[in-house]
Homo-oligomer: A and B are copies of this chain.
Amino acid sequence: MWQRLPSRADQDALIAAARIAYKLPAGVEIAAASGTQALIQWLPYLTGPGAVAIMSPTYSEHAAAWTSAGHEVIPHTAFDHVPDHARYAVIVNPNNPDGRQVDQAALARIGALLLKRDGWLVIDEAFADVDPALCAVALCRDLPVIILRSFGKFYGLAGLRLGFAIGPPAMIQRVAEALGPWPCSGPALAVGRAALLDQEWADRARETLKSQAGRLDAVLAAAGFTIVGGTALFRLARHRDAGLRHAALARQHIWCRSFEWADDLLRFGLPGDDAGLDRLAAALGLCK
């Protein structure tokens, strides 16, 4: 797994496991990459010219990649339409950092609209594992929809670097050609396959994450925060003195995310274990 180049069989085995885990219907293809980020980087180079509408605020790397590839980026906040002159659209679903969800009917409408414009709809489902009902793979059969799935976030293995693009065969073929042979490491193929086949672990993890998210909410509420969004993997919380809290936590080596576009919001990733939650509670207690 470390010494030799991954074989075709190694790569096929991962893809087969991913097809099961992500419940792909026939006629929808999937390609693996060394992290979703690699796919975010490539997509804007594989499209024709045209502006991209990015539902915002969201994960900033989408806008960075499309801009870098020479596309006009149109940030917009409505989740149920696309500006007239956009040929492409990117929706993170559920959204990061606020957790907003776009339902399948709205996604289908946007996909149909972009089909007419000869464009693509990119749905970044980096945080969809905690709520599989959100997954829009059924749309890929008839619409120009590409879905990105992140392995590392839900499975707690971000350092492994593994992500997937799901979509119509012609599009995924293009993505796979751009990635070239051996995009994933031997460990990513082996570990990814084993984890994706363990449905029982995933079901348990979803329950555990929900319960831990509830405990994180309680800690944040006790410290004067109001929960305003998030998923089971992270929480978005409001506090009048968010900036002070952010700085105080950083001094205690606890990292949460602040935002340029809102000085009263912080995003907290789920602590890895109870000890992490206790450390956060103690650190926030010192801020009072």
Contacts and interface: CB of A to CB of B under 8 A. Distances in A.
A65 B2 CA distance: 25
A182 B152 CA distance: 12
A77 interface: no
Contacts of A35: 182-183
A188 interface: yes
A118 B279 CA distance: 56
A172 B45 CA distance: 18
A41 B185 CA distance: 16
Interface stretch (A129-137, A153-161, A219-227): A153-161
Contacts of A242: none
A283 interface: no
A34 B178 CA distance: 14
A34 B159 contact: no
A258 interface: no
Nearest to A153: B5
A186 interface: yes
A158 B68 contact: no
A113 to B, nearest CB: 28
Contacts of A5: 152, 158-159
A179 interface: yes
Interface size class of A (residues with CB under 8 A): 35 or more
B34 A180 contact: no
Nearest to A10: B159
A159 B65 contact: no
B180 A40 contact: yes
B179 A161 contact: no
B1 A179 contact: no
A259 B53 CA distance: 48
A181 B158 CA distance: 12
Closest 3 CB pairs of A and B: A159-B186, A34-B34, A41-B180
28 contacts: A1-B159, A2-B157, A2-B159, A3-B156, A3-B159, A4-B158, A4-B159, A5-B159, A6-B159, A34-B38, A34-B183, A34-B184, A34-B185, A37-B182, A38-B38, A38-B179, A38-B183, A40-B180, A41-B179, A41-B180, A61-B180, A68-B178, A159-B187, A161-B182, A161-B183, A161-B184, A161-B185, A187-B187
